[in-house]
Structure 1
Amino acid sequence: MHIGYVQIPVGIAGPPLRTLFFRWRHECFVRRWDNQSSCSFRFVNATTAAELKFFIEDPMNFETLSDVFNKSSRFVRLQNIQCAIAGKSIHEIEGRGKSVVCEAIIKEEVVKNVLKIEVAALVELNMLKNRTCSAMDGVLGGFSAHASNIVSIVSIATGHDPSQNFESSRSNIRMEDVNDSKDLHISVTMPSIKVGTVGGGTQLSSQSACLNLLGVIGANREAPGSNARLLATIVAGSVLAGELSLMSATSAGQLVNSNMKYNRSSKDVT
């Protein structure tokens, strides 16, 4: 039963972070353009499951499957199908959502003067926090400091289901020194970003306004799917910027100091 709406504060990152972004050499590209999804089928035995797998992957049957699938929506189009068998079950594979890689090279002077940290310190912290500690903690979904936070806030602001965070926030943050160990190369690989710009919550007034602000509102009639792909790169770029910001603040001691100053109340302390 629908009873109303909950207002959520929305802001624009910057100017420091936004200004810093334009001073980087940065690039995002989509490794997998199409929005992937998957489903599973269970049969009485493995033989029947194998028969369906062969039928689905037979090029002669693709047109028939495509005709049926494409009738389900004005926007979706079947591109390809890949299957795998596990016992008497068959599962369509190829990941979910869009696969995006985003990278940036931050010059030594920016790391020192803006982020207030050394390149070597960031590289070491990333290895300890995002790699070693994540592995020891049994983290599911990748190696990052807070990618899920970024994905959640973008999802809510743009009308997406925040429960998809578990898949969409899967990420791998890498940092290494380059150019004779002077500059920092940072990259994020996100294999399953599930975003769109039509339907569902994207049509709500506030969320639609946020999509319009990002320049990805609705469907792009001239290049179908391009708005959703651009939104996926925006998510990845935001995660990269957020990781760099948090990791720098952590390494420089600014995170703890800021929390103690701005996130602690002495009002009720006696």
Structure 2
Amino acid sequence: MLLSKLPLGAAALRVAQRRGAAALCSGALSDAAVLDKLASGQMAFHKLEAELGDPVRAMRLRREHLASTFGAGAHADAIRALPSDALDAAGFYGQVDGACCENVIGYVPLPVGTIGPYKIDGKAVYVPMATTEGALVASTHRGARAISASGGATTELLADGMTRAPALAMPSLKAAAELKRWLEDPASLDELNLAFKATSRFGRLLAVKVGIAGKYAHVRFKCFTGDAMGMNMVSKGVNKVVESILEKYPGTQLLGLSGNMCTDKKPSAINWIDGRGKSVAAEAILPASVVASVLKTTPAAVARLSVHKNLIGSALAGSIGGQNAHASNILTAIYLAAGQDPAQNVESSTCLTLCEEVPAATPGGESSLYVSCMMPSIEVGTVGGGTALAAQAACLGIMGVKGAGETPGANSQQLAKIVCASVMAGELSLLAALSVNHLVSAHMALGRRDRK
């Protein structure tokens, strides 16, 4: 059928015509020839659909190019394991049963894109993102490209501890205060750990903080959970500790294993200040020449906007942990791809983004842009929950963090670092676009295809 006969809107018709013309030019190329052009940089990775005029072929060749980039090994196997054409229904629903969902009636497909290669702590990483928001992957990839061209992102793990905070009713205020003093005494930690560690091979109690409201005590336990995100592990361990408390303090009642001082899936100052899960920071320094060539702006413009948007605007809004441009966007897309709990984006995406112009080190030299993100509550795991599903496990494999690490906690900590560095890339790209008013044009080009 001729393109002009297709029931398309004007914008979609133009896209189809361009792709049709591209197909006439590129359709004669064999798969091997396309892969050679990708490897040599003669064909743009993100323009395969337009170049080939065939989105299915573009997807398959992009996968093969990524797999060949990794060579033989687990990363290449993970690329090929990510479902693309057909669902293994028996395998998928078998993995879901008893672990991930109840009353199952089907599944919702989400497209998965990648950013990278992104240089994080000296290593090239590809990061899968599952989203239906046009321009998000492209924008984050742009930020990652700019950072990588400037030497890469540096990350640091600042803390690691999942929390659970049961609510207890004590006989009196005096008893509640006595409980607080005992639980917060460092000398009590070993005794509490005897009960906690009886429920887990990897979990251990790290710290205890008690909030008092009259005779009621809310006890916030912070625990190490290895490579698991750890809510179930911590709940079991804390439940055992509470049993020992009830024995030690007769008349105490457990009102609920979670009393909201944890705090899970709700914004809170305690997570912002004390952290929950992994607390991670990332930074990068970009020369003005890279900012201009890749991000189409200047260090001064990005830094100025960051102050007024991320700091002043968020202060006027009374935001808790919202001192950022759109951290939740990137984090949630990675969570969906990697089998994390997407509802935990509420506290996990709290982020402080800073940008500042660094003056030239020598007369006549160029200035630089310093960018950093601090995320105190990234709640991730590489074992348990949705990480066991084939597609999500493949995405973890692409990042090199599938399953348990040789050192307990190493894989989940690395995943948190990747999340923070990726958020920084997305933050940088959006701030750059806003600083020169490119946001609308980018979304119109990448996220508003006419389907009439």
Relative to the length of structure 1, the TM-score reads: 0.90
Q: Distance in 2 between matches of 1:65 and 1:91?
A: 13
Residue identity matched to 2:338: T
In the alignment, structure 1 residue 126 sits paired with structure 2 residue 306: yes
The partner residue of 2:218 within 90, 103, 107 is 90
Q: Distance in 2 between matches of 1:238 and 1:51?
A: 45
In structure 1, the partner of 2:384 is 199
In structure 2, the partner of 1:6 is 108
In the alignment, structure 1 residue 66 sits paired with structure 2 residue 172: no
Aligned 8 A contact 2:146 2:286 in 1: no
Deviation at 1:43, TM superposition (A): 2.3
In structure 1, the partner of 2:293 is 113
Q: Distance in 1 between matches of 2:451 and 2:338?
A: 36
Aligned 8 A contact 1:188 1:236 in 2: yes
SS at match of 2:207: coil
Q: Could you report, residue by residue, the CA deviation over 1:40-64 in whole angstroms, capped at 9, with x for unpaired residues?
A: 4232432222222222233443223
Deviation at 1:217, TM superposition (A): 0.8
In structure 2, the CA distance between the partners of 1:210 and 1:61, relative to structure 1 (3 Å rule), is: same
In structure 1, the partner of 2:161 is 35
Q: Could you report, residue by residue, the CA deviation over 1:158-188 in whole angstroms, capped at 9, with x for unpaired residues?
A: 1111110111001000011114381010000
Residue identity matched to 2:427: E
Q: Distance in 2 between matches of 1:245 and 1:72?
A: 45
Q: Could you report, residue by residue, the CA deviation over 1:209-236 in whole angstroms, capped at 9, with x for unpaired residues?
A: 1111101111113x11011111110110
In structure 1, the partner of 2:434 is 250
In structure 1, the partner of 2:396 is 211
Q: Distance in 2 between matches of 1:187 and 1:87?
A: 41
In structure 2, the partner of 1:173 is 353
In structure 2, the CA distance between the partners of 1:51 and 1:4, relative to structure 1 (3 Å rule), is: farther
Q: Distance in 2 between matches of 1:86 and 1:69?
A: 25
Q: Distance in 1 between matches of 2:396 and 2:450?
A: 39
In structure 2, the partner of 1:240 is 424
Deviation at 1:257, TM superposition (A): 1.2
Which range moved further: 52-61 or 14-23? Answer: 14-23
Deviation at 1:70, TM superposition (A): 1.8
In structure 2, the CA distance between the partners of 1:77 and 1:4, relative to structure 1 (3 Å rule), is: farther
Q: Distance in 1 between matches of 2:145 and 2:294?
A: 11
Q: Flag the structure with larger Rg.
A: 2
SS at match of 2:114: coil
Deviation at 1:262, TM superposition (A): 3.8
Q: Distance in 2 between matches of 1:234 and 1:266?
A: 34
Q: Distance in 2 between matches of 1:118 and 1:60?
A: 54
In structure 1, the partner of 2:75 is none
Aligned 8 A contact 1:50 1:85 in 2: yes
Deviation at 1:3, TM superposition (A): 2.5
Which range moved further: 123-132 or 193-202? Answer: 123-132
Residue identity matched to 1:197: T
RMSD: 2.1
In structure 2, the CA distance between the partners of 1:2 and 1:69, relative to structure 1 (3 Å rule), is: farther
Unaligned runs of 5+ in 2: 1-102, 118-140, 222-273, 361-365
Aligned 8 A contact 1:175 1:186 in 2: yes
Residue identity matched to 1:57: E
In structure 2, the CA distance between the partners of 1:265 and 1:241, relative to structure 1 (3 Å rule), is: closer
Q: Distance in 2 between matches of 1:6 and 1:72?
A: 35
Instruction: Report which of the two has the higher share of helix.
Output: 2
Residue identity matched to 1:215: G
The partner residue of 1:53 within 180, 194, 197 is 180
Deviation at 1:266, TM superposition (A): 5.2
SS at match of 1:105: strand
Unaligned runs of 5+ in 1: none
Q: Percent identity?
A: 43
Residues matched between the structures, number: 266
Relative to the length of structure 2, the TM-score reads: 0.55
Deviation at 1:263, TM superposition (A): 3.3
Residue identity matched to 1:3: I
